Structure 1
Amino acid sequence: MPKPSKGPRLASSPAHERLMLANMATSLFAHGRITTTLPKAKRLRPLAERLITFAKRGDLSSRRRVMRVIRDKSVVHILFTQIAEQMEQREGGYTRITKIAPRRGDNAPQAVIELVTEPLSAKKATVKEAEAAAKVAAKDEDAEVAAAADAAIADGAAEDAVNQAVDANESGADVAQADEAAEDLEKTADQADEAAEAAEEAADVAEDAEEASKK
Protein backbone atom coordinates (compact mmCIF):
# COMPACT_ATOMS: atom_id res chain seq x y z
CA MET A 1 0.00 0.00 0.00
CA PRO A 2 1.43 3.45 -0.94
CA LYS A 3 2.58 5.67 1.90
CA PRO A 4 0.64 8.97 2.20
CA SER A 5 2.71 12.12 1.65
CA LYS A 6 0.71 14.40 3.99
CA GLY A 7 1.12 12.53 7.22
CA PRO A 8 -0.58 9.41 8.54
CA ARG A 9 -3.71 8.30 6.75
CA LEU A 10 -6.89 9.12 8.66
CA ALA A 11 -8.92 6.18 7.35
CA SER A 12 -8.50 2.67 6.01
CA SER A 13 -8.06 3.80 2.37
CA PRO A 14 -7.65 7.01 0.34
CA ALA A 15 -11.25 6.79 -0.88
CA HIS A 16 -12.52 6.42 2.68
CA GLU A 17 -10.41 9.40 3.74
CA ARG A 18 -11.78 11.60 0.95
CA LEU A 19 -15.33 10.63 1.88
CA MET A 20 -14.70 11.35 5.55
CA LEU A 21 -13.22 14.78 4.84
CA ALA A 22 -16.14 15.59 2.53
CA ASN A 23 -18.62 14.72 5.28
CA MET A 24 -16.69 16.84 7.77
CA ALA A 25 -16.64 19.79 5.35
CA THR A 26 -20.39 19.43 4.83
CA SER A 27 -20.98 19.56 8.59
CA LEU A 28 -18.63 22.54 8.94
CA PHE A 29 -20.48 24.59 6.32
CA ALA A 30 -23.87 23.55 7.67
CA HIS A 31 -23.20 24.33 11.36
CA GLY A 32 -20.29 26.79 11.23
CA ARG A 33 -18.10 24.72 13.58
CA ILE A 34 -17.38 21.09 14.46
CA THR A 35 -15.38 19.27 17.12
CA THR A 36 -12.97 16.59 15.96
CA THR A 37 -9.46 15.33 16.57
CA LEU A 38 -6.57 17.71 15.93
CA PRO A 39 -5.07 15.74 12.99
CA LYS A 40 -8.47 15.62 11.25
CA ALA A 41 -8.99 19.36 11.81
CA LYS A 42 -5.59 20.12 10.27
CA ARG A 43 -6.39 17.96 7.24
CA LEU A 44 -9.85 19.47 6.87
CA ARG A 45 -8.70 23.08 6.96
CA PRO A 46 -7.07 23.33 3.48
CA LEU A 47 -9.98 21.50 1.86
CA ALA A 48 -12.58 23.79 3.47
CA GLU A 49 -10.69 26.95 2.55
CA ARG A 50 -10.26 25.77 -1.04
CA LEU A 51 -14.01 25.17 -1.32
CA ILE A 52 -14.70 28.64 0.09
CA THR A 53 -12.37 30.12 -2.54
CA PHE A 54 -14.41 28.40 -5.25
CA ALA A 55 -17.62 29.71 -3.66
CA LYS A 56 -16.29 33.28 -3.73
CA ARG A 57 -15.87 33.02 -7.50
CA GLY A 58 -19.55 32.22 -7.80
CA ASP A 59 -19.59 30.93 -11.37
CA LEU A 60 -21.10 27.70 -12.65
CA SER A 61 -17.76 25.96 -13.06
CA SER A 62 -16.84 26.65 -9.43
CA ARG A 63 -20.22 25.38 -8.26
CA ARG A 64 -19.69 22.13 -10.14
CA ARG A 65 -16.21 21.76 -8.62
CA VAL A 66 -17.67 22.17 -5.13
CA MET A 67 -20.47 19.71 -5.79
CA ARG A 68 -17.90 17.03 -6.53
CA VAL A 69 -17.10 17.15 -2.81
CA ILE A 70 -20.26 18.50 -1.15
CA ARG A 71 -23.19 16.38 -2.25
CA ASP A 72 -25.82 18.22 -0.20
CA LYS A 73 -27.32 20.91 -2.46
CA SER A 74 -28.71 22.89 0.47
CA VAL A 75 -25.23 23.13 2.01
CA VAL A 76 -23.79 24.18 -1.35
CA HIS A 77 -26.44 26.91 -1.52
CA ILE A 78 -25.48 28.14 1.95
CA LEU A 79 -21.81 28.10 0.97
CA PHE A 80 -22.30 30.16 -2.19
CA THR A 81 -24.85 32.64 -0.81
CA GLN A 82 -24.09 33.18 2.88
CA ILE A 83 -20.54 32.01 3.62
CA ALA A 84 -19.04 33.42 0.43
CA GLU A 85 -20.62 36.80 1.19
CA GLN A 86 -19.22 36.77 4.73
CA MET A 87 -15.73 35.97 3.41
CA GLU A 88 -15.83 38.53 0.61
CA GLN A 89 -13.39 40.96 2.28
CA ARG A 90 -10.97 38.21 3.34
CA GLU A 91 -8.15 36.94 1.17
CA GLY A 92 -7.52 33.80 3.22
CA GLY A 93 -7.73 32.44 6.74
CA TYR A 94 -11.38 31.46 6.45
CA THR A 95 -11.19 28.88 9.26
CA ARG A 96 -9.83 28.78 12.79
CA ILE A 97 -8.59 25.77 14.80
CA THR A 98 -8.78 25.92 18.60
CA LYS A 99 -7.31 23.15 20.74
CA ILE A 100 -9.48 21.82 23.56
CA ALA A 101 -9.12 19.18 26.25
CA PRO A 102 -8.19 15.64 25.15
CA ARG A 103 -10.98 13.18 24.47
CA ARG A 104 -12.04 11.00 27.35
CA GLY A 105 -11.26 7.34 26.91
CA ASP A 106 -8.31 7.31 24.51
CA ASN A 107 -6.89 10.75 25.44
CA ALA A 108 -6.77 11.79 21.77
CA PRO A 109 -6.05 15.51 21.19
CA GLN A 110 -9.20 17.34 20.21
CA ALA A 111 -9.85 20.67 18.50
CA VAL A 112 -12.68 22.86 17.32
CA ILE A 113 -12.53 24.01 13.71
CA GLU A 114 -14.86 26.89 12.87
CA LEU A 115 -15.51 29.48 10.19
CA VAL A 116 -14.09 32.95 10.82
CA THR A 117 -17.19 35.11 10.35
CA GLU A 118 -16.04 38.21 12.23
CA PRO A 119 -15.77 41.30 9.99
CA LEU A 120 -12.37 42.77 9.32
CA SER A 121 -11.26 45.55 11.64
CA ALA A 122 -11.62 49.14 10.44
CA LYS A 123 -7.84 49.53 10.26
CA LYS A 124 -7.40 46.50 8.00
CA ALA A 125 -10.31 47.60 5.81
CA THR A 126 -8.75 51.06 5.46
CA VAL A 127 -5.41 49.56 4.49
CA LYS A 128 -7.06 47.41 1.82
CA GLU A 129 -8.95 50.43 0.44
CA ALA A 130 -5.73 52.45 0.35
CA GLU A 131 -3.93 49.67 -1.52
CA ALA A 132 -6.77 49.46 -4.04
CA ALA A 133 -6.75 53.24 -4.51
CA ALA A 134 -2.97 53.19 -5.02
CA LYS A 135 -3.31 50.52 -7.72
CA VAL A 136 -6.03 52.54 -9.48
CA ALA A 137 -3.89 55.68 -9.27
CA ALA A 138 -0.91 53.86 -10.79
CA LYS A 139 -3.04 52.57 -13.67
CA ASP A 140 -4.51 56.04 -14.26
CA GLU A 141 -1.04 57.56 -14.21
CA ASP A 142 0.13 55.08 -16.85
CA ALA A 143 -2.93 55.86 -18.95
CA GLU A 144 -2.23 59.59 -18.58
CA VAL A 145 1.36 59.16 -19.75
CA ALA A 146 0.25 57.08 -22.74
CA ALA A 147 -2.43 59.61 -23.67
CA ALA A 148 0.06 62.47 -23.40
CA ALA A 149 2.48 60.59 -25.66
CA ASP A 150 -0.27 59.97 -28.22
CA ALA A 151 -1.24 63.63 -28.06
CA ALA A 152 2.35 64.70 -28.65
CA ILE A 153 2.65 62.33 -31.62
CA ALA A 154 -0.66 63.57 -33.05
CA ASP A 155 0.38 67.21 -32.58
CA GLY A 156 3.64 66.55 -34.41
CA ALA A 157 1.83 64.77 -37.23
CA ALA A 158 -0.72 67.60 -37.51
CA GLU A 159 2.05 70.17 -37.67
CA ASP A 160 3.75 68.17 -40.42
CA ALA A 161 0.48 67.95 -42.33
CA VAL A 162 -0.06 71.70 -42.07
CA ASN A 163 3.44 72.32 -43.35
CA GLN A 164 2.77 69.92 -46.23
CA ALA A 165 -0.43 71.79 -47.04
CA VAL A 166 1.43 75.09 -47.10
CA ASP A 167 4.12 73.63 -49.32
CA ALA A 168 1.50 72.15 -51.63
CA ASN A 169 -0.31 75.49 -51.79
CA GLU A 170 2.90 77.25 -52.69
CA SER A 171 3.84 74.63 -55.28
CA GLY A 172 0.33 74.44 -56.80
CA ALA A 173 -0.14 70.72 -55.97
CA ASP A 174 -3.33 69.00 -54.72
CA VAL A 175 -4.24 71.56 -52.05
CA ALA A 176 -7.65 70.11 -51.14
CA GLN A 177 -6.21 66.67 -50.34
CA ALA A 178 -3.47 68.14 -48.20
CA ASP A 179 -5.96 70.35 -46.35
CA GLU A 180 -8.21 67.36 -45.61
CA ALA A 181 -5.28 65.38 -44.23
CA ALA A 182 -4.30 68.32 -42.03
CA GLU A 183 -7.87 68.66 -40.69
CA ASP A 184 -8.11 64.93 -39.90
CA LEU A 185 -4.82 64.96 -38.03
CA GLU A 186 -5.83 68.06 -36.09
CA LYS A 187 -9.06 66.27 -35.02
CA THR A 188 -6.97 63.30 -33.90
CA ALA A 189 -4.77 65.63 -31.88
CA ASP A 190 -7.84 67.21 -30.22
CA GLN A 191 -9.20 63.76 -29.29
CA ALA A 192 -5.85 62.76 -27.83
CA ASP A 193 -5.80 65.96 -25.76
CA GLU A 194 -9.29 65.20 -24.42
CA ALA A 195 -8.23 61.66 -23.49
CA ALA A 196 -5.17 63.01 -21.68
CA GLU A 197 -7.32 65.47 -19.71
CA ALA A 198 -9.78 62.72 -18.75
CA ALA A 199 -6.94 60.46 -17.57
CA GLU A 200 -5.46 63.30 -15.53
CA GLU A 201 -8.83 63.96 -13.86
CA ALA A 202 -9.19 60.24 -13.01
CA ALA A 203 -5.69 60.21 -11.51
CA ASP A 204 -6.57 63.24 -9.35
CA VAL A 205 -9.74 61.54 -8.10
CA ALA A 206 -7.81 58.37 -7.20
CA GLU A 207 -5.15 60.41 -5.41
CA ASP A 208 -7.83 62.24 -3.39
CA ALA A 209 -9.40 58.90 -2.45
CA GLU A 210 -6.03 57.55 -1.30
CA GLU A 211 -5.38 60.64 0.86
CA ALA A 212 -8.87 60.39 2.37
CA SER A 213 -8.35 56.71 3.24
CA LYS A 214 -5.05 57.53 4.96
CA LYS A 215 -6.78 60.09 7.18
Structure 2
Amino acid sequence: MNQPLSSGGRFGHSVSDAVVRNKVLRNTYLLLALSMVPTVLGAWIGVTTGIANGLTGFTGLIVFLGGMMGFQFAIHRFRDSGMGVALLLGFTFFMGIMLSRLLGAVLGMSNGTSLVMSAFASTAGVFGTMAVLSTVIKRDLSGMGRWLFAGMIAVLIAGVIGMFMGSSAMMIGITVLSTVIFSLYMLYDLKRIMDGGETNYVLATTGLYISIFAVFQNLLALFGIFGGED
Protein backbone atom coordinates (compact mmCIF):
# COMPACT_ATOMS: atom_id res chain seq x y z
CA MET A 1 0.00 0.00 0.00
CA ASN A 2 1.27 3.47 -0.85
CA GLN A 3 2.19 5.70 2.06
CA PRO A 4 -0.34 8.55 2.41
CA LEU A 5 0.88 12.08 1.83
CA SER A 6 0.15 13.19 5.36
CA SER A 7 2.17 14.73 8.16
CA GLY A 8 3.01 11.23 9.28
CA GLY A 9 4.81 10.32 6.05
CA ARG A 10 8.23 11.32 4.83
CA PHE A 11 6.80 13.82 2.32
CA GLY A 12 4.56 15.34 4.96
CA HIS A 13 7.47 15.78 7.36
CA SER A 14 9.67 17.38 4.70
CA VAL A 15 6.92 19.86 3.79
CA SER A 16 6.31 20.65 7.47
CA ASP A 17 10.03 21.12 8.11
CA ALA A 18 10.33 23.42 5.10
CA VAL A 19 7.42 25.52 6.36
CA VAL A 20 9.07 25.85 9.78
CA ARG A 21 12.44 26.79 8.26
CA ASN A 22 10.87 29.40 5.99
CA LYS A 23 8.93 30.87 8.91
CA VAL A 24 12.05 31.10 11.07
CA LEU A 25 14.01 32.68 8.22
CA ARG A 26 11.25 35.19 7.44
CA ASN A 27 10.82 36.19 11.10
CA THR A 28 14.60 36.45 11.49
CA TYR A 29 14.91 38.81 8.54
CA LEU A 30 12.02 40.94 9.78
CA LEU A 31 13.42 41.18 13.32
CA LEU A 32 16.90 41.83 11.94
CA ALA A 33 15.56 44.77 9.92
CA LEU A 34 13.70 46.07 12.98
CA SER A 35 16.85 45.79 15.11
CA MET A 36 18.56 48.38 12.92
CA VAL A 37 16.21 51.08 14.22
CA PRO A 38 17.44 51.07 17.86
CA THR A 39 21.00 50.59 16.57
CA VAL A 40 20.80 53.79 14.54
CA LEU A 41 19.09 55.56 17.44
CA GLY A 42 21.77 54.45 19.90
CA ALA A 43 24.54 55.47 17.51
CA TRP A 44 22.93 58.89 16.93
CA ILE A 45 22.57 59.52 20.67
CA GLY A 46 26.14 58.37 21.25
CA VAL A 47 27.56 60.62 18.54
CA THR A 48 25.58 63.70 19.57
CA THR A 49 26.15 63.34 23.31
CA GLY A 50 29.61 61.76 23.32
CA ILE A 51 28.41 59.34 25.99
CA ALA A 52 30.79 56.60 24.85
CA ASN A 53 33.86 58.78 24.32
CA GLY A 54 35.29 57.86 27.69
CA LEU A 55 35.05 54.13 27.03
CA THR A 56 38.54 53.64 25.68
CA GLY A 57 41.11 50.88 26.02
CA PHE A 58 40.56 48.13 28.56
CA THR A 59 37.63 49.94 30.21
CA GLY A 60 35.75 50.12 26.93
CA LEU A 61 36.44 46.44 26.26
CA ILE A 62 35.09 45.40 29.66
CA VAL A 63 31.91 47.47 29.26
CA PHE A 64 31.39 46.17 25.73
CA LEU A 65 31.92 42.50 26.56
CA GLY A 66 30.07 42.72 29.86
CA GLY A 67 27.05 44.38 28.28
CA MET A 68 27.03 42.01 25.31
CA MET A 69 27.28 38.85 27.43
CA GLY A 70 24.69 40.12 29.89
CA PHE A 71 22.19 40.86 27.14
CA GLN A 72 22.90 37.55 25.42
CA PHE A 73 22.26 35.62 28.63
CA ALA A 74 18.97 37.46 29.19
CA ILE A 75 17.89 37.03 25.55
CA HIS A 76 18.56 33.30 25.74
CA ARG A 77 16.61 33.10 29.00
CA PHE A 78 13.51 34.77 27.52
CA ARG A 79 13.94 33.60 23.91
CA ASP A 80 10.42 32.14 23.72
CA SER A 81 8.55 35.25 24.87
CA GLY A 82 7.98 38.85 23.88
CA MET A 83 10.51 39.81 26.54
CA GLY A 84 13.19 38.18 24.41
CA VAL A 85 12.34 40.49 21.50
CA ALA A 86 12.38 43.53 23.80
CA LEU A 87 15.76 42.51 25.23
CA LEU A 88 17.12 42.03 21.72
CA LEU A 89 16.04 45.53 20.74
CA GLY A 90 17.60 46.87 23.94
CA PHE A 91 20.78 45.00 23.07
CA THR A 92 20.93 46.58 19.62
CA PHE A 93 20.44 50.02 21.18
CA PHE A 94 23.39 49.32 23.48
CA MET A 95 25.49 48.19 20.53
CA GLY A 96 24.62 51.39 18.69
CA ILE A 97 25.97 53.42 21.59
CA MET A 98 29.12 51.28 21.65
CA LEU A 99 29.59 51.96 17.93
CA SER A 100 29.20 55.72 18.30
CA ARG A 101 32.80 56.44 19.31
CA LEU A 102 34.23 54.92 16.12
CA LEU A 103 31.38 56.34 14.07
CA GLY A 104 31.99 59.82 15.43
CA ALA A 105 35.71 59.58 14.67
CA VAL A 106 35.05 58.55 11.07
CA LEU A 107 32.33 61.17 10.57
CA GLY A 108 34.84 63.77 11.76
CA MET A 109 36.88 63.14 8.61
CA SER A 110 36.19 65.25 5.54
CA ASN A 111 34.95 62.17 3.63
CA GLY A 112 33.46 60.51 6.70
CA THR A 113 29.92 60.23 5.35
CA SER A 114 31.06 58.41 2.21
CA LEU A 115 33.21 56.06 4.31
CA VAL A 116 30.22 55.16 6.49
CA MET A 117 28.08 54.52 3.42
CA SER A 118 30.83 52.43 1.84
CA ALA A 119 31.14 50.33 5.01
CA PHE A 120 27.36 49.90 5.10
CA ALA A 121 27.19 48.89 1.42
CA SER A 122 30.10 46.48 1.81
CA THR A 123 28.52 44.87 4.86
CA ALA A 124 25.24 44.49 2.98
CA GLY A 125 27.18 42.91 0.13
CA VAL A 126 28.85 40.42 2.46
CA PHE A 127 25.51 39.51 4.03
CA GLY A 128 23.86 39.11 0.63
CA THR A 129 26.70 36.87 -0.56
CA MET A 130 26.50 34.67 2.52
CA ALA A 131 22.70 34.46 2.22
CA VAL A 132 23.03 33.21 -1.36
CA LEU A 133 25.77 30.75 -0.41
CA SER A 134 23.63 29.35 2.41
CA THR A 135 21.00 28.36 -0.17
CA VAL A 136 23.34 26.79 -2.73
CA ILE A 137 25.80 24.97 -0.45
CA LYS A 138 24.41 21.51 0.27
CA ARG A 139 27.20 20.38 2.57
CA ASP A 140 26.58 20.31 6.32
CA LEU A 141 28.52 23.19 7.88
CA SER A 142 27.67 22.47 11.51
CA GLY A 143 31.24 21.41 12.23
CA MET A 144 32.47 24.85 11.22
CA GLY A 145 31.04 26.37 14.40
CA ARG A 146 33.77 25.12 16.72
CA TRP A 147 36.51 26.47 14.47
CA LEU A 148 34.85 29.85 14.15
CA PHE A 149 34.40 30.05 17.92
CA ALA A 150 38.06 29.17 18.45
CA GLY A 151 39.02 31.82 15.91
CA MET A 152 36.85 34.41 17.64
CA ILE A 153 38.48 33.68 21.02
CA ALA A 154 41.93 33.87 19.44
CA VAL A 155 41.08 37.25 17.88
CA LEU A 156 39.78 38.53 21.23
CA ILE A 157 42.96 37.47 23.05
CA ALA A 158 45.14 38.91 20.31
CA GLY A 159 43.14 42.14 20.47
CA VAL A 160 43.80 42.49 24.20
CA ILE A 161 47.51 41.84 23.64
CA GLY A 162 47.54 44.34 20.79
CA MET A 163 46.01 47.00 23.03
CA PHE A 164 48.93 46.72 25.46
CA MET A 165 51.56 46.45 22.71
CA GLY A 166 50.20 49.44 20.80
CA SER A 167 51.07 47.88 17.44
CA SER A 168 49.04 49.44 14.62
CA ALA A 169 50.04 46.73 12.15
CA MET A 170 48.94 44.01 14.57
CA MET A 171 45.58 45.68 15.18
CA ILE A 172 44.98 46.03 11.43
CA GLY A 173 45.73 42.34 10.96
CA ILE A 174 43.36 41.43 13.79
CA THR A 175 40.64 43.61 12.27
CA VAL A 176 40.99 41.91 8.88
CA LEU A 177 40.93 38.44 10.46
CA SER A 178 37.89 39.36 12.56
CA THR A 179 36.08 40.51 9.41
CA VAL A 180 36.70 37.14 7.78
CA ILE A 181 35.61 35.17 10.85
CA PHE A 182 32.34 37.04 11.35
CA SER A 183 31.57 36.94 7.63
CA LEU A 184 31.83 33.16 7.84
CA TYR A 185 29.71 33.26 11.00
CA MET A 186 26.93 34.80 8.88
CA LEU A 187 27.13 31.84 6.52
CA TYR A 188 27.20 29.40 9.42
CA ASP A 189 24.16 30.94 11.15
CA LEU A 190 22.15 31.24 7.93
CA LYS A 191 22.97 27.65 6.98
CA ARG A 192 21.81 26.46 10.40
CA ILE A 193 18.44 28.08 9.77
CA MET A 194 18.25 26.60 6.27
CA ASP A 195 19.08 23.13 7.63
CA GLY A 196 16.63 23.38 10.54
CA GLY A 197 19.36 23.55 13.17
CA GLU A 198 18.02 26.83 14.59
CA THR A 199 14.28 27.10 15.10
CA ASN A 200 14.14 30.14 17.38
CA TYR A 201 14.10 33.37 15.39
CA VAL A 202 15.10 35.52 18.38
CA LEU A 203 18.34 33.56 18.86
CA ALA A 204 18.88 33.39 15.10
CA THR A 205 18.54 37.18 14.84
CA THR A 206 20.90 37.74 17.77
CA GLY A 207 23.64 35.65 16.18
CA LEU A 208 23.28 37.27 12.77
CA TYR A 209 23.12 40.76 14.26
CA ILE A 210 26.40 40.28 16.15
CA SER A 211 28.12 39.09 12.98
CA ILE A 212 26.75 41.98 10.90
CA PHE A 213 27.70 44.49 13.58
CA ALA A 214 31.23 43.11 13.81
CA VAL A 215 31.75 43.14 10.04
CA PHE A 216 30.44 46.71 9.74
CA GLN A 217 32.55 47.92 12.65
CA ASN A 218 35.69 46.28 11.28
CA LEU A 219 35.15 47.56 7.74
CA LEU A 220 34.44 51.06 9.04
CA ALA A 221 37.69 51.00 10.99
CA LEU A 222 39.65 49.77 7.98
CA PHE A 223 38.07 52.33 5.64
CA GLY A 224 38.82 55.04 8.16
CA ILE A 225 42.48 53.95 8.41
CA PHE A 226 43.17 53.55 4.72
CA GLY A 227 40.68 55.92 3.12
CA GLY A 228 40.16 58.68 5.66
CA GLU A 229 40.90 62.28 4.70
CA ASP A 230 41.52 65.07 7.17
Is the TM-score greater than 0.5?
no
Q: Which has the larger radius of gyration?
A: 1
- TM-score, normalised to structure 2, is 0.24
- Higher relative CO (Cα under 8 Å, sequence separation at least 6) belongs to 2
Which structure: greater helix fraction? 2
